[in-house]
Amino acid sequence: VRRTGSVTADGVPFLDRMAHRRRLAEQVFVTRRDLIPILALFVYTTGWNVETIKELTTAHRVIEGVAVEVSLIKRRRGPGKWHDSATWEIGKPGQELRTPGGLYLLLLDLMAPARDLLDDRPYWAVWLGAGRFGPDRVGNPFQGALNTEVSNRDWIAGHNLRSDEHRPECGTAGDTRSERTDLRLSFPRLKKSVDVRRTRAVGGHLPSATRSNTVPVLFRNY
Instruction: Output the pLDDT for position 15.
Output: 77
- At 60, is the secondary structure helix, strand, or coil? strand
Instruction: Output the pLDDT for position 169.
Output: 58
Instruction: Output the pLDDT for position 211.
Output: 46
pLDDT lower than 50: segments of the chain: 176, 209-211
Q: Measured between alpha carbons, how far is 191 from 44 in angstroms, rounded to an integer?
A: 7
Q: Which residues of 86-118 are buried (b: 16+ CB within 10 A; e: fewer)?
A: bebebbeeeebeebbbbbbbbbbebbebbbebb
Instruction: Output the pLDDT for position 122.
Output: 95
Give the Cβ contact number of residue 121 at 10 Å.
13
Rounded to two decimals, the pTM is 0.80
Q: Measured between alpha carbons, how far is 88 from 83 in angstroms, rounded to an integer?
A: 16
Instruction: Output the pLDDT for position 88.
Output: 95
Instruction: Output the pLDDT for position 30.
Output: 95
Instruction: Output the pLDDT for position 215.
Output: 62
Phi, psi of 75 (to 5 degrees): -75, -35
